[in-house]
């Protein structure tokens, strides 16, 4: 990465606009601004876009065991310059990312002693800021404090009157099925008023708000074992603040209050702002200011894959079915088969080695499921008690490497505590030593991890496709949920959703004779999901026996649809209603439109990027799909008419 310092300015506090107002920082294009002030000995900020308020004045500061750094504060100095650099990634929504930001370091004193620097990055549509805490004089003269515990983060996000919310509640630890909560699997509710605090538990990141003057997506990034993951709580009205993990996470093991060395820093808090939702769908703020934490031990590869569990459930985790999936996966030209829970007892280690050898002979490799447990929930699924212990884990990983396993899916973490962040990081670092890729389920939002940990693939951290198996209610919500994820959850991190099926029912009989939700979305919708949800190694819910009965052009689409993307453009969307999104792989654009409005969605789309070789996949009013090649439009406009629960897809070359 090349960092260029373009300009450098220095303001002493004497140059501040007034005693209260310290500075107004502006994005490189001047449209996004962040005003910093000190009022009543508290540090505050507000955010505006085109001069119109996005966030009202909001307090800053941390309460620690060393001191209360949310009060007694005064502005000491602020230094402002500009940073610009590029970076590349294979696994993100864009492959070549250009970053230009206004960079500020605001020094705050407490009772005349330097307390912390608030480091701020202001891009055209994104703000990232973090606290860099300084060593403090100790009670004994001459000594100083070398560490601190963050008891309460006072960082607020005060939403103006008239804001509505698009939020998913935090699950209190130790609750839910087999005490596995938080599993980060509650639904998002669209366009709710502010003021509710989800029965005291607050809300998971990312949090989307529609303010009267524009959209704001609030999240955090750069979380490692050096801190906890946080969430937002609503104190009253439109006032939201950062909260430490809930005491009962991890079955009450580990502390809720993260510890840091001094000097030391918090993760980045991020705010992505736009008058429409494009800056949110297209943001790269989770990755811009984090760094790879280790070198990849090998060149990791990506692609599509399959998994039997979503249709066949636990019974499908047997030698015969997995071999069938390997054959099918090879036929589709995919990379990976994910073997889910109970493989150790239902297949056995020797047979897994034989399956892995068979898969490799067909150009496919296996991912193996593991329980993260441990001592923090009652989930009985095995293998257990391996991934939580360094000795057992590394021994297991050496065995996996010896039989050619691609990677692991580790489930049931159930905690945002710093101790759990340590476990995530330890699994990732060890897996890299053995050349293994990592997917997390029952897991918190990954916060910048695609760039920080080079063998990290993606996490669930969403009410994912398994719920389509569990019931019709979720099936009826499938299109509604799909209009939300690219604008919220999947906007800030790869999402291991595990969707895309042609089954009418999520069971092996594909009918009502056995348990399994009834799909209501169209086949074209299912194909669109492969484009909508981004994950570099994407396991699809295809069932070989059902899939072979489908029209060849549907399978051709799924054989060719990429899992790695070079660019993204949001065309139009309203979360909870409809979504029209384009992704580019090399020179091919995939434009997908889905509809959850309850009525037909008619649009004339301006798509100048489609120059030749254009194919339109669309649904009729009965959700029956068809495919046709169409001529490039002279005006670059294309009509779509998408029925409720259906989709339209345009594929073409630029
Ligand atoms: Ca799950």
* Arithmetic mean of pLDDT, 541-550: 92
* Spatial separation of the C-alpha atoms in residues 100 and 29, rounded to whole Å: 10
CA of 465 from ligand 1 middle (Å) equals 9
* Residue-level pLDDT at 372: 97
According to DSSP, residue 27 is labeled -
CA of 443 from ligand 1 middle (Å) equals 8
pLDDT at residue 6 greater than cutoff 60: no
CA of 262 from ligand 1 middle (Å) equals 37
* Residue-level pLDDT at 141: 76
Unique residue bearing structure tokens 């339209």:
648
Report how far apart, in Å, the C-alpha atoms of 409 and of each of 120, 338, 486, 541 are: 35, 8, 23, 16
* Residue-level pLDDT at 10: 44
Task: Give the strand pairing for 437-440 and 456-459.
Answer: parallel
CA of 460 from ligand 1 middle (Å) equals 7
CA of 430 from ligand 1 middle (Å) equals 23
**DSSP codes, 119-182:** EEEE-SSEEEEEEEE---B-SSTT-B--EEEEEEE--EEEPPTT-EEEEEBPPPTT-SGGG---
**DSSP codes, 341-366:** TTHHHHT-HHHHHHHHHHHHHTT-EE
The pLDDT tens digits for 547-600 are 988 999 999 999 999 999 999 999 999 999 999 999 999 999 999 999 999 999
Q: Give the angle subtended at the CA of 282 by the CAs of 571 and 227, to the nearest 5°.
A: 150
* Spatial separation of the C-alpha atoms in residues 438 and 449, rounded to whole Å: 11
CA of 339 from ligand 1 middle (Å) equals 15
Task: Point out the least confidently predicted range of 13-17, 113-117, 327-331, 642-646.
Answer: 13-17
pTM, to two decimals: 0.96
Nearest to 100 by CA among 284, 353, 306: 284
CA of 566 from ligand 1 middle (Å) equals 29
CA of 530 from ligand 1 middle (Å) equals 19
Q: Which two tokens stand for residue 573?
A: 């969307």
* Residue-level pLDDT at 590: 98
E strand segments, 376-478: 407-411, 437-440, 456-459
Return the percent helix, strand and coil in the chain, to nearest 5: 20, 40, 40
Q: How confident is the model at residue 16 (pLDDT cuts 50, 70, 90)?
A: very low
Mean pLDDT of the chain: 95
**DSSP codes, 166-223:** EEEBPPPTT-SGGG----S-PPEEEEEETT--GGGT-BPSPEEEEETTEEEEEEEE--
CA of 599 from ligand 1 middle (Å) equals 31
CA of 182 from ligand 1 middle (Å) equals 10
* Residue-level pLDDT at 19: 53
* Spatial separation of the C-alpha atoms in residues 456 and 432, rounded to whole Å: 9
State residue 299 phi and psi, 5-degree precision.
-85, 105
Q: Rg of the chain over CA atoms, in angstroms?
A: 25
pLDDT at residue 17 greater than cutoff 60: no
CA of 159 from ligand 1 middle (Å) equals 32
* Arithmetic mean of pLDDT, 176-192: 95
Q: How confident is the model at residue 25 (pLDDT cuts 50, 70, 90)?
A: very high
Q: Are 282 and 437 in contact (CB under 8 A)?
A: no
CA of 499 from ligand 1 middle (Å) equals 13
CA of 185 from ligand 1 middle (Å) equals 7
State residue 273 phi and psi, 5-degree precision.
-125, 140
* Residue-level pLDDT at 462: 96
* Spatial separation of the C-alpha atoms in residues 201 and 224, rounded to whole Å: 23
Nearest to 273 by CA among 220, 217, 219: 217
CA of 452 from ligand 1 middle (Å) equals 24
3-state secondary structure 378-389: CCCCCCCCCCCC
CA of 459 from ligand 1 middle (Å) equals 10
* Residue-level pLDDT at 442: 96
pLDDT at residue 610 greater than cutoff 70: yes
Task: Give the strand pairing for 303-307 and 537-540.
Answer: parallel
CA of 149 from ligand 1 middle (Å) equals 32
pLDDT at residue 374 greater than cutoff 90: no
Q: How confident is the model at residue 138 (pLDDT cuts 50, 70, 90)?
A: confident
CA of 440 from ligand 1 middle (Å) equals 9
CA of 466 from ligand 1 middle (Å) equals 7
Beta-carbon contacts of 243 under 8 Å, excluding residues fewer than 6 positions away, are 153, 202, 230, 231, 232, 233
CA of 448 from ligand 1 middle (Å) equals 21
Q: How confident is the model at residue 384 (pLDDT cuts 50, 70, 90)?
A: very high
CA of 497 from ligand 1 middle (Å) equals 9
CA of 410 from ligand 1 middle (Å) equals 11
The pLDDT tens digits for 84-106 are 999 999 999 999 999 999 999 99
Task: Point out the least confidently predicted range of 45-49, 373-377, 430-434.
Answer: 373-377
Beta-carbon contacts of 182 under 8 Å, excluding residues fewer than 6 positions away, are 170, 171, 172, 173, 204, 246, 249, 414, 415, 416, 444
* Arithmetic mean of pLDDT, 260-281: 98
CA of 380 from ligand 1 middle (Å) equals 14
CA of 378 from ligand 1 middle (Å) equals 15
What residues form DSSP beta bridges with 80?
A: 9, 104
CA of 462 from ligand 1 middle (Å) equals 8
CA of 278 from ligand 1 middle (Å) equals 29
Q: Are 79 and 104 in contact (CB under 8 A)?
A: yes
Rounded to whole angstroms, the maximal C-alpha distance in the chain is 80
The pLDDT tens digits for 435-470 are 999 999 999 999 999 999 999 999 999 999 999 999
* Residue-level pLDDT at 149: 98
Nearest to 419 by CA among 252, 171, 185: 252
In the chain, the percentage of residues whose pLDDT exceeds 90 is 94
pLDDT at residue 145 greater than cutoff 70: yes
* Arithmetic mean of pLDDT, 329-333: 98
What residues form DSSP beta bridges with 478?
A: none
* Spatial separation of the C-alpha atoms in residues 19 and 548, rounded to whole Å: 72
* Arithmetic mean of pLDDT, 165-193: 95
* Spatial separation of the C-alpha atoms in residues 165 and 190, rounded to whole Å: 6
Q: Give the angle subtended at the CA of 22 by the CAs of 16 and 25, to the nearest 5°.
A: 105
CA of 14 from ligand 1 middle (Å) equals 54
Q: Which two tokens stand for residue 223?
A: 């979380």
CA of 281 from ligand 1 middle (Å) equals 24
CA of 311 from ligand 1 middle (Å) equals 15
Unique residue bearing structure tokens 């692609």:
303
Beta-carbon contacts of 475 under 8 Å, excluding residues fewer than 6 positions away, are 468, 506, 517, 518, 519, 520, 521
* Spatial separation of the C-alpha atoms in residues 288 and 103, rounded to whole Å: 13
Give, rounded to a whole angstrom, the gap between the first and last alpha carbons of the chain. 29
* Arithmetic mean of pLDDT, 215-229: 98
CA of 526 from ligand 1 middle (Å) equals 20
Report how far apart, in Å, the C-alpha atoms of 583 and of each of 3, 92, 365, 603 are: 28, 11, 27, 19
CA of 442 from ligand 1 middle (Å) equals 5
CA of 463 from ligand 1 middle (Å) equals 7
Burial class (CB in 10 A: 0-12, 13-18, 19+), 340: buried
Which helix (DSSP H) or strand (DSSP E) does residue 245 occupy? none
The pLDDT tens digits for 50-72 are 999 999 999 999 999 999 999 99
Nearest to 411 by CA among 319, 494, 484, 342: 342
CA of 294 from ligand 1 middle (Å) equals 28
CA of 515 from ligand 1 middle (Å) equals 18
CA of 300 from ligand 1 middle (Å) equals 25
CA of 340 from ligand 1 middle (Å) equals 12
């Amino acid at each position: 990465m090349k960092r260029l310092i373009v300009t450098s300015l220095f303001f002493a506090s004497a140059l501040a606009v007034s005693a209260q107002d310290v500075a107004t920082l502006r994005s490189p294009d001047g449209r996004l601004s962040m005003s910093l002030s000190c009022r009543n000995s508290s540090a505050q900020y507000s955010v505006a876009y085109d001069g119109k308020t996005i966030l009202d004045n909001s307090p800053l500061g941390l309460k620690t065991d060393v001191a209360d750094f949310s009060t007694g504060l005064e502005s000491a100095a602020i230094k402002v310059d500009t940073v610009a650099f590029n970076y590349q990634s294979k696994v993100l929504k864009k492959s070549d990312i250009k970053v230009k930001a206004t960079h500020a370091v605001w020094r705050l004193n407490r009772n005349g002693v330097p307390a912390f620097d608030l480091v701020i990055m202001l891009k055209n549509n994104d703000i990232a800021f973090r606290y860099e805490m300084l060593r403090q004089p100790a009670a004994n003269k001459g000594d100083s404090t070398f560490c601190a515990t963050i008891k309460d983060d006072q960082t607020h996000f005060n939403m103006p009157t008239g804001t509505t919310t698009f939020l998913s509640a935090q699950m209190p630890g130790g609750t839910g099925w087999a005490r596995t909560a938080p599993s980060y699997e509650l639904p998002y509710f669209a366009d709710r008023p502010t003021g509710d605090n989800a029965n005291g538990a607050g809300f998971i990141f990312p949090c989307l708000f529609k303010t009267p003057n524009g959209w704001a997506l609030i999240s955090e990034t750069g979380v490692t074992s050096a801190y906890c993951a946080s969430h937002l709580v609503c104190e009253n009205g439109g006032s939201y603040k950062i909260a430490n993990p809930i005491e009962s996470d991890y079955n009450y093991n580990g502390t809720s209050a993260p510890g840091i060395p001094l000097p030391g820093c918090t993760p980045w808090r991020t705010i992505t702002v736009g008058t429409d939702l494009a800056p949110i769908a297209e943001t790269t703020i989770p990755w811009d200011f984090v760094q790879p934490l280790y070198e990849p031990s090998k060149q990791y590869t990506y692609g599509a894959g399959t998994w039997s569990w979503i249709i066949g459930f636990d019974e499908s985790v047997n030698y015969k079915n997995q071999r069938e999936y390997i054959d099918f996966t090879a036929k589709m030209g995919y990379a990976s088969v994910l073997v889910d829970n109970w493989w150790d007892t239902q297949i056995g280690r020797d047979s897994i080695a034989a399956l892995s050898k068979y898969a490799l002979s067909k150009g496919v490799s296996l991912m193996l499921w593991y329980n993260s447990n441990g001592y923090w929930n009652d989930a009985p699924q095995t293998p257990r008690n391996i991934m939580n212990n360094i000795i057992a884990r590394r021994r297991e990983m050496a065995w996996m490497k010896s039989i050619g396993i691609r990677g692991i899916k580790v489930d049931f973490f159930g905690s945002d505590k710093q101790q759990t962040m340590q476990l995530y990081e330890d699994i990732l670092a060890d897996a890299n030593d053995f050349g293994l890729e990592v997917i997390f389920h029952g897991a918190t939002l990954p916060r910048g991890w695609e760039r920080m940990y080079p063998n990290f693939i993606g996490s669930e951290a969403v009410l994912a496709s398994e719920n389509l198996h569990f019931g019709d209610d979720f099936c009826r919500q499938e299109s509604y949920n799909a209009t939300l994820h690219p604008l919220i959850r999947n906007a800030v991190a790869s999402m291991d959703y595990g969707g895309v099926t042609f089954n009418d029912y999520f069971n092996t009989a594909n009918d009502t004779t056995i348990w399994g939700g009834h799909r209501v979305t169209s086949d074209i919708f299912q194909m669109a999901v492969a484009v909508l949800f981004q994950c570099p190694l994407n396991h699809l819910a295809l069932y070989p026996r059902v899939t072979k009965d489908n029209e060849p052009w549907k399978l051709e689409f799924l054989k060719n649809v990429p899992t790695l993307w070079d660019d993204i453009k949001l065309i139009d969307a309203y979360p909870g209603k409809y979504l029209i999104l384009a992704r580019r792989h090399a020179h091919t654009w995939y434009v997908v439109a889905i509809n959850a409005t309850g009525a037909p969605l008619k649009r004339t789309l301006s798509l100048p990027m489609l120059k030749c070789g254009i194919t339109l996949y669309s649904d009729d009013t009965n959700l029956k799909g068809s495919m046709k090649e169409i001529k490039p439009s002279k005006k670059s406009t294309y009509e779509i008419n998408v029925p409720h629960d259906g989709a339209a897809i345009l594929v073409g070359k630029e």
